[in-house]
Amino acid sequence: MPSRTKAATSLRFPGETPKYRLARNKLLKKEIALRREIEAVAAERRKLPLGGVVREDYVFRGPNGPVKLSELFADGKDTLLIYNFMYGPQMPAACPACTSILDGLDGQSPHVVQRTNFWVVAKSPIERILAHARDRGWRHLRLLSSHDNTYNHDYRGENHENGDQWPMMNAFVRRRGRIYHTWASEMFLGPADKGQDKRHVDLAWPLWQLFDMTADGRGRNWWPKLRYD
């Protein structure tokens, strides 16, 4: 039985040249190595020790009234993801990039919540968030407002200096009745290589993954919008 790598490198598509196949096979080995590295990094992430204890049972505002952080954990599910999207009360509109992320995650949400708790938080009042959700056609995302608490400030969903909103994914875990922070998409706060965006939740953002499969790639100046004329 030939190895899968050997089987893959023996593939041929109509009209391709030997030059193309040589280059493609070389790239294929790098793609397999990248997959291996992604898996290794995910394994390290799972092995992180517990982070800080969450000191406050934050009260959010949901579509049906107040919701505590501790109430975001469904029975039998002790992990929690919260995505902060940039939509503060002073912003004229929600962030197009965050909206693009959530457009995709809305469809995935029914699958995600089979394994973990997943909620989306913004600083605007809940009525404004829900209006944006209706405009986008979101049906599945679990939406909350952090307008009346310090969650965004404490977990890096906003700039400490001026209150500007930031995108941030945070992970929490419940252990023996206490809630711990376990991970955040801190690449957003770190340096990026020249010509690169922060890409802190790239693997959860299918838009860029699709572009990366094409010959034209992501493009230099293209960025998602709320509306396309």
Q: Within a domain: residue 51? A: no
Q: What is the number of structural domains in the chain?
A: 1
Return the pLDDT at 180.
98
Beta bridge partner(s), residue 147? none
Share of the chain above pLDDT 90, in %: 79
**87: CB partners within 8 A, 6+ apart:** 93, 94, 95, 98, 122, 123, 124, 128, 129, 132, 165
Q: Does 88 have pLDDT greater than 60?
A: yes
Residue 20 lies in a domain: no
Task: List the beta strands (DSSP E) in 102-186.
Answer: 117-122, 143-145, 168-175, 178-184
What CATH number does the domain containing 119 carry?
3.40.30.10
Q: In this predicted structure, what is the pLDDT of residue 183?
A: 96
* Residue 45 falls inside a structural domain: no
Q: Does 177 fall in a domain? A: yes
Helix (H, G, I), strand (E, B) or coil at 81: strand
CA distance 60 to 199: 28
pLDDT tens track for 33-82: 999 999 999 999 999 999 999 999 999 999 999 999 999 999 999 999 99
177-221 pLDDT tens trace: 999 999 999 888 888 888 777 788 888 888 888 988 999 998 878
Asked if the structure places residue 195 within a domain, the reply is: no
Has residue 87 been placed in a domain?
Answer: yes
Mean pLDDT across the stretch 97-103?
A: 95
Does any domain span residue 95?
A: yes
pLDDT tens, position by position, 146-184: 999 999 999 999 999 999 999 999 999 999 999 999 999
Residue 167 lies in a domain: yes
Residue 1 has a pLDDT of 43
Q: So what's the pLDDT on residue 5? A: 58
| Helix H or strand E encompassing 82 | strand 79-84
**Structural domain range at position 96:** 59-186
Give the pLDDT of residue 190.
Answer: 83
Reported as a single tens digit per residue, the pLDDT across 2-33 is 566 565 667 899 999 999 999 999 999 999 99
Distance of CA 56 to the CA centre of its chain: 24
